[in-house]
Structure 1
Amino acid sequence: MPTLLSWFCQAIFLVVVVYFALYVLLELRVFLISRKVERRKLTELAHSADEADIERWPSVSVLLPIYNESEVVERLIDAACRLRYPSQLLEILVLDDSSDGTTELARRKVEHYAAQDFDIRLLRRRDRKGYKAGNLVNGIQQSRGEFFAIFDADFVPPDNFLLKTVPCFRDPKLGFLQTGIGYENRDVSFLTRFQAMEMGHQQYVTVGLSEDGDMASLSGSSCVWRKVCVDALGGWNASTVTEDVDLGYRAQFGDWKYAYLRDVVSMSVLPETISAYRIQRERWGRGLIHSAFKHLKQMLLQRMPLMKRMHAISVMFSSVLLASIYVLILLSLPLMYLVHFDSVGMQWGALAFFSLVALWGMENAFAARRGARFNSKPNALKALWDTYRYIAMFLPMAWYYFVGGVRALLGVHGDFHRTPKGKDGYRAIVPRINSVLLAGEIFTFLYSALAVWVGFQHGNYFLIPLDVTVCVGFGMVIYWSWQERQAHKRV
């Protein structure tokens, strides 16, 4: 029985390593394409985006879905009303699902701009059926634009956003367009810097995916959709909490093209509390994993070249890969007991895993800094330590995605919690899932510390670097949880 269990653990370990290797090699290919685009600076779409002189400007509806966003709703409406575009072709719809004072703030702003002849309306529903997806569907049903520009409550687009993006839609097959995102509060703490870098990395590799014509997973804010495309796809689907990713997948499988303009940047705000961050990432993981399996059959039946199919699998199931890393963490302790890593296969497997982590870490950190536009050059030791902490933070994120994946398998698709941004955390009622995730963090930290001790006791040193890094990553989030708790006590 121990031998059978040993072989089982080794098999899972090697499967994860192979899966990770495929992902790293594909991402490295896209990274090199992004580097080539960066050196060239201009792509065909970037050229067209600079040409604001077009024969006929189409009508555009700016959709602003909000829910209890009292701290940012006024500046959002101000930014939308600053957008430069022919006034007779632009309407702004504030889609308000709020249950607090946000509604009154939004109403006053809307009335202020309506008195200045802006075409702006406040739309409210009787209930929050379908959450954000339902809110957007309700908005487009009352809109008149040929295109939809969508901004979440914490976004501030540049005033030339529409002048830069709308000309790209000369191509009738271009269904939607994503732009770059910057973060106002990225330097508040290491947590915000990590988020800015992690999402900056995604933006950087999306440049390569777009250039190569590969499938991408795009955000649902700071984007523009063609109405004909949205109508053809049946609109946003409320069956998933990542309705933006779901619609993007359906568009790409429906042979609609997408474009990515990294140099058109809207500013946003990151969550600054660890509770807000962990709840947001569990929701993202749940929605992304649900969307991946939901569209798996359609992706496999889609006719596409092998390399593009490989990239589609890599993009769609990257969240599953991250969740599987947590499985590797759980396997580290039994592997310490059951395997002495004296077999050639396990030695090469462990060596390959850590080599891939090093390669991925260097590529990811470089792309993350470029994508997040970090231009400062810290000293070598600080850069090395920050890169190590950056990599370590993916391990708690693996736990959040693991929980999200389990909940998705259990059919929990609609449990939606708004992510408070900035210093605004969950001041009153913290969602229950936060306590589950925190308990898992404490367990994983102790579990990995035990695995380190067992590794030294048994002379099994191969997985100790992984478990030490787990302790660093989970130790940081536990410490931030303690800090947040102390701050709440002071308040």
Structure 2
Amino acid sequence: MLALLSWVCQLVFLLVVAYFALYVLLELRVFLISRKVERRKLTELAHSTTDAHTDVWPRVSVLLPICNESEVVERLIDAACSLRYPAGLVEILVLDDSTDGTTELARVKTDYHAAQGVDIRLVKRSDRRGYKAGNLMNGIQQSRGEFFAIFDADFVPPADFLLKSIPCFKDAKLGFLQTGIGYENRDASFLTRFQAMEMGHQQYVTVGLSEDGDMASLSGSSCVWRKVCVDALGGWNASTVTEDVDLGYRAQFGEWKYAYLRDVVSMSVLPETISAFRIQRERWGRGLIHSGFKHVKQMLSQRMPLMKRMHAVSVMFSSVLLASIYVLILLSLPITYLVHFDSAFMRWGALAFFGLVLLWGLENAFGARKGAGFDGKPNVLKDLWNTYRYIALFLPMAWYYFVGGVRALFGVYGDFHRTPKGREGYRAVVPRINTVLLAGEAITFLYSIAAIGVSFLEGNYFLLPLNVTVCVGFGMVLYWSSLEKWAHRRT
């Protein structure tokens, strides 16, 4: 029985390592493409937006979906009303699903700008059916624009956003366009710095995906959609909590093109509390894994070159890969006890895994710093330590995505919790999933300590670096949880 268990653990371990190897090599390819684009400074798309001259400007509807966003709603509306565009061709719809004082703040601000001659309306629903997807679908039914520019409540677009993005749509097959995102509170803590770097890396890699014409997973804010494209796809689907990714996949499978303008940057706000972060990432993991499996059949039926298909698989199932890293954490203890790495496959598999982690970590950290704009004076020791902590924090994220994947497997698609930004946190009622995730963090931390103990007892140190890094990553989030708990008690 122990021999069979040992064989199963080894097989799963090697399969995850092989999957990780494919992902790292594909990402490295895209990373090198992004580097070439950086050296050229301007891609063809960037040239077209800089030199673009539009004789006839289309009508644009700016959609602002909000829900209980009292801290940021006023500046969002101010920023939207400051967008420069030919007079009479832009309308702003404040799509309000709030149940608190946000509605009154939005109404006062909307009335103020309307009195100044801005075409702006507050659209209020009687219920939150379909959450954000339902809110957007309700909004577009009342809009008049040929294009939809969408900004979440915590975003502040630059005044020239429309002037730089709309000219790209001269190509009739361009269905949607994503722009860059910056984070004004990225230096608030290491948690916000981690998020800014992770998002920055994703944006940096998207430059290469866009340049190479590969499939990408894009954000649902600071973006522009062509109305004809949205209508053809049936709009946003409320069956998934990542409705933006779902619509983006359907557009790309429908042979609509996308564009990515990294140099057009809207500012946003990151969650500063660990509870908000973990709940957000569980929701993302659940939605991304659900979307990946939901569209895999359609992806496989598409005619595309092998390399593009491999990138599509990599993008669609990157969340599954992250969740599977948590499976490695669970396997680390039985493997340490049962397997002494006598076989060449396991020995080289373990070495390959750590080599791949090192390669991925260096590439990821470099792309993250470039994408997030961290260009400060280098400090070798500090940068190495922060890079290690950056890598370590992906392990708690693997736990969040693992839980999200399990919940998606059991059909939990619509459990949506808004993510409070900044220091707001969950002041009143913390969603119950937070308790589950926090308990899992504590158990995983103790589990990895046990695995470290077993490695010393058995003299089997191959997976010791993994278990130590797990303790560092989970130790950080547990420490931040204790700080958050004490902060709540003081208020």
TM-score scaled to structure 1, two decimals? 1.00
Distance in 1, Cα, partners of 2:333 & 2:323:
18
Distance in 1, Cα, partners of 2:328 & 2:49:
45
Map 1:35-114 to 2 at 5 A: 35-114=35-114
Distance in 2, Cα, partners of 1:61 & 1:336:
58
Distance in 2, Cα, partners of 1:403 & 1:3:
29
- Which secondary structure does the structure 1 equivalent of 2:485 belong to? helix
- Which secondary structure does the structure 1 equivalent of 2:291 belong to? helix
Give the ranges of 4+ consecutive aligned residues of structure 1 lying more than 2 Å apart after TM superposition.
none
Amino acid at match of 1:97: D
Amino acid at match of 1:254: G
| Residues 52 and 163, structure 1, Cα contact 8 Å, conserved in 2 | no
Give the C-alpha shift of residue 53 in structure 1.
2.2
Give the C-alpha shift of residue 283 in structure 1.
0.1
Q: Does 2:164 align with 1:164?
A: yes
* Alignment correspondent of 1:223: 223
Distance in 2, Cα, partners of 1:172 & 1:380:
48
Give the C-alpha shift of residue 70 in structure 1.
0.2
- Which secondary structure does the structure 2 equivalent of 1:87 belong to? coil
Give the C-alpha shift of residue 52 in structure 1.
4.5
Distance in 1, Cα, partners of 2:334 & 2:144:
60
- Which secondary structure does the structure 1 equivalent of 2:93 belong to? strand
| Residues 87 and 118, structure 1, Cα contact 8 Å, conserved in 2 | no
Distance in 2, Cα, partners of 1:235 & 1:394:
33
Distance in 2, Cα, partners of 1:52 & 1:83:
18
Amino acid at match of 2:76: L
Deviations 1:26-52 (A, max 9, x none): 000000000000000111110111134
* Alignment correspondent of 2:264: 264
Deviations 1:264-313 (A, max 9, x none): 00000000000000000000000000000000000000000000000000
Distance in 1, Cα, partners of 2:293 & 2:480:
33
Q: Does 2:251 align with 1:251?
A: yes
Map 1:102-141 to 2 at 5 A: 102-141=102-141
Q: CA RMSD in A?
A: 0.5
Distance in 1, Cα, partners of 2:26 & 2:278:
28
Deviations 1:116-153 (A, max 9, x none): 11100000011000000000000000000000000000
Distance in 1, Cα, partners of 2:460 & 2:56:
69
Give the C-alpha shift of residue 379 in structure 1.
1.2
Distance in 2, Cα, partners of 1:459 & 1:304:
49
Amino acid at match of 1:51: D
Structure 1, gaps ≥5 residues long: none
Give the C-alpha shift of residue 87 in structure 1.
2.2
| Residues 180 and 261, structure 1, Cα contact 8 Å, conserved in 2 | yes
Map 1:403-442 to 2 at 5 A: 403-442=403-442
* Alignment correspondent of 1:477: 477
- Which secondary structure does the structure 1 equivalent of 2:177 belong to? strand
Distance in 2, Cα, partners of 1:378 & 1:443:
37
* Alignment correspondent of 1:313: 313
| Residues 199 and 372, structure 1, Cα contact 8 Å, conserved in 2 | yes
Q: Does 2:365 align with 1:365?
A: yes
* Alignment correspondent of 1:176: 176
Name which of structure 1's ranges 109-118 and 468-477 shifts more when overlaid on structure 2. Answer: 109-118
- Which secondary structure does the structure 1 equivalent of 2:350 belong to? helix
- Which secondary structure does the structure 2 equivalent of 1:86 belong to? coil
Deviations 1:229-256 (A, max 9, x none): 0000000000000000000000000000
Deviations 1:359-398 (A, max 9, x none): 0000000000000000103311000000000000000000
Structure 2, gaps ≥5 residues long: none
Deviations 1:316-353 (A, max 9, x none): 00000000000000000000111001111110000000
Deviations 1:100-122 (A, max 9, x none): 00000000011001111110000
* Alignment correspondent of 2:192: 192
* Alignment correspondent of 2:330: 330
Deviations 1:414-433 (A, max 9, x none): 00000000010000000000
Map 1:139-158 to 2 at 5 A: 139-158=139-158
Amino acid at match of 1:82: S
- Which secondary structure does the structure 1 equivalent of 2:88 belong to? helix
Map 1:261-410 to 2 at 5 A: 261-410=261-410
- Which secondary structure does the structure 2 equivalent of 1:259 belong to? strand
Amino acid at match of 2:379: N
- Which secondary structure does the structure 1 equivalent of 2:149 belong to? strand
* Alignment correspondent of 1:205: 205
Amino acid at match of 1:298: Q
Distance in 1, Cα, partners of 2:277 & 2:337:
35
Amino acid at match of 1:27: E
* Alignment correspondent of 2:23: 23
TM-score scaled to structure 2, two decimals? 1.00
Distance in 1, Cα, partners of 2:49 & 2:100:
40
| Residues 51 and 167, structure 1, Cα contact 8 Å, conserved in 2 | no
Report % sequence identity: 82
Amino acid at match of 1:467: N
* Alignment correspondent of 2:236: 236
How many equivalent residue pairs?
491
Distance in 1, Cα, partners of 2:144 & 2:18:
50
- Which secondary structure does the structure 1 equivalent of 2:122 belong to? strand
Deviations 1:449-487 (A, max 9, x none): 100110011011000000000000000000000000000
- Which secondary structure does the structure 1 equivalent of 2:70 belong to? coil
